[in-house]
């Protein structure tokens, strides 16, 4: 399930879908629910109790009390089109802040509950789609769903309070904004923690007596840029040394399990070993 959510998120980032369509929503639902549904055929289509009576969905509380009765099945196509028009900015006619629009989109799909399962995950994915489309790139790194999972009761209460008060979205909007703020704070803490760890590892790398100054600089760069490869020629040019010296530097780091070599055509590219931090800690 977590992998499905990750794949859907990567799809949003890698494929900038500018407009929301029912087909796109169905595609996201198929990605999110892959290999998780009791009936795989229910992926990417509206719930339909004529196919399976169990698809006559109701949302129940812990005491089996009905908390929410979604709109009837025959209204779903029309409601989905209206939701897409809202997501694409065609409605309302007045200005609505992009973050607020994304939050309402989240609530809208969850309220309509158009699918047999995976509605909450699809709704949260639509929130990310709407917010990323508007250029809020930082949200790609915010773990909002994890906060929802940690306190599911608060998440449910935000929906329930809205529905029981004539669909006043204030409750859900405030809860969602608090969640975004908390996710941003968590991200800052994570960045600070990783920054401190990298600084400590950087000191450790520079203090390794078995490495020369070029190798220390290379390991330090690898810690901060784990996805960037180095070739003998690039290392040679960066430090103005001979080809043989540059090659020797890189091969020595490979022998110490600090770099790994991969063949790209006829060229060998050296990347940081996946467990570079562990290797340095040794």
In whole angstroms, give the CA distance from residue 14 to residue 230.
25
User: Residue 264 has what pLDDT?
Assistant: 78
CATH 1.10.10.10 fits 213-281, yes or no: yes
Q: Which residues contact 197 (CB under 8 A, 6 or more apart)?
A: 277
- Return the SS3 of 260: strand
Give me the numbers of helices (H) and strands (E) for the chain, helices first please. Answer: 12, 4
Ranges of CATH 1.10.3290.10 domains, the chain: 2-141
User: Residue 248 has what pLDDT?
Assistant: 94
Q: What letter would DSSP give residue 70? A: P
Say if residue 2's pLDDT is above 60.
Answer: no
- Please, which pLDDT band fits residue 47 given cuts at 50, 70 and 90? very high
Q: What percent of the chain has pLDDT over 70?
A: 94
Q: What is the mean pLDDT of residues 101-113?
A: 94
CATH 1.10.3290.10 fits 2-141, yes or no: yes
- Please, which pLDDT band fits residue 207 given cuts at 50, 70 and 90? low
pLDDT tens column, 164-202: 888 889 999 999 999 999 999 998 998 888 788 777 766
Ranges of CATH 1.10.10.10 domains, the chain: 213-281
In whole angstroms, give the CA distance from residue 172 to residue 103.
8
Q: What percent of the chain has pLDDT over 90?
A: 43
Q: Which residues contact 252 (CB under 8 A, 6 or more apart)?
A: 215
């Amino acid at each position: 399930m977590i992998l499905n959510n990750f794949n859907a998120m990567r799809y949003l980032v890698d494929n900038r879908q500018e407009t929301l369509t029912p087909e796109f929503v169905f595609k996201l639902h198929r990605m999110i629910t892959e290999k998780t549904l009791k009936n795989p055929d229910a992926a990417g289509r509206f719930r339909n109790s004529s196919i399976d009576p169990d698809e006559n969905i109701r949302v129940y509380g812990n005491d089996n009390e009905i908390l929410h009765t979604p709109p009837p099945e025959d209204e779903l196509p029309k409601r989905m089109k209206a939701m897409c028009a809202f997501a694409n900015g065609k409605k309302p006619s007045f200005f609505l802040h992009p973050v607020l629009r994304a939050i309402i989109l989240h609530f809208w799909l969850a309220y309509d509950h158009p699918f047999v399962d995976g509605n909450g995950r699809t709704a949260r994915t639509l929130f990310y789609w709407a917010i990323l489309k508007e250029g809020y790139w930082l949200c790609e790194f915010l773990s909002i769903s994890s906060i929802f999972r940690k306190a599911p009761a608060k998440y449910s209460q935000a929906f329930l309070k809205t529905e029981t008060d004539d669909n006043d979205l204030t409750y859900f909007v405030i809860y969602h904004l608090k969640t975004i703020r908390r996710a941003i704070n968590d991200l800052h803490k994570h960045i600070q923690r990783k920054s401190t760890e990298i600084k400590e590892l950087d000191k450790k790398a520079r203090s390794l007596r078995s490495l020369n100054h070029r190798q220390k600089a290379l390991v330090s760069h690898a810690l901060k840029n784990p996805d960037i490869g180095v070739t003998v020629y690039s290392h040679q040019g960066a430090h103005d040394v001979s080809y043989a010296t540059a090659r020797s530097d890189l091969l020595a780091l490979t022998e110490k399990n600090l770099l790994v070599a991969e063949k790209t055509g006829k060229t060998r590219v050296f990347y940081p070993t996946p467990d570079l931090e562990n290797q340095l800690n040794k």
